[in-house]
Amino acid sequence: MSGGLWAIAFANEGGQALGRIRLESHDTYMRFALEEAVRAAERLEVPVGAVLVGSDGDLIARAHNAPISQCDPTAHAEILVLRKGALRLGNYRLPGTILYATLEPCAMCVGAMLHARVQLLVFGAYDPKSGAAGSVVDLTKVPSFNHYMQVVGGVEEQACARLLEDFFRSRRKTV
Ligand code: ZN
């Protein structure tokens, strides 16, 4: 991590390394999560994407929202990226990792992140209806829980929110 730049290994679905580039900020990682959100929208899923990054800057896993296509109410982007990341690292706990999500996570997903020992959550748009990192409730700062997770909200907020707004606007038109 010289000069504040992080080297990132890209991985495809099979965990194969696709190359390395240098990046420098939360915004850059959030753009990968946004790419995933676009993939969700293309599959008519609510456009939410997530990526998991290691403390060394490695991109460990990426996933998008898929509850409809997987017929699974728990198939939120954050849950899927935790599952992929844990499998890839061969560890059910992911200490030191950073999870980027385009939308403030729900209670289920914040709960899963606490179980996984994620160190830092970075999210884009705030979710006033079900956000569990401060908007409706803040499960990241419950003193009685045995894990404390740091949170940064509002990264690439406009781009993340616009994707959701456009999606719901186009859905309303087609109904
Ligand atoms: Zn969720």
Per-residue pLDDT tens digits for 24-50: 489 999 999 999 999 999 999 999 999
Residue 36 appears among annotated catalytic residues: no
- Do you know the residue count of the chain? 175
DSSP strand E in 13-112: where? 17-23, 49-53, 59-64, 98-103
User: Contact at 8 Å (CB) between 18 and 12?
Assistant: yes
Residues 79-94 pLDDT 10s: 999 999 999 999 999 9
- Dihedral of the CA atoms 1, 11, 69, 121 (nearest 10)? -10
Backbone phi, then psi, for 100, in 5-degree steps? -100, 125
Distance 6 CA to ligand 1 centre (A): 28
Distance 109 CA to ligand 1 centre (A): 4
Among 7-21, 51-65, 80-94, 99-113, whose mean pLDDT is lowest? 7-21
Q: Which of 78, 156, 157, 165 is catalytic?
A: 78
Q: For 83-112, what is the mean pLDDT?
A: 97
Which residues in 141-153 are b (16+ Cβ under 10 Å) and which e? eeeeeeeebebeb
Report residue 51's pLDDT band, with 50, 70 and 90 as the boundaries. Answer: very high
CB-facing half-sphere around the CA of 94: CA atoms within 13 A = 32
Distance 2 CA to ligand 1 centre (A): 34
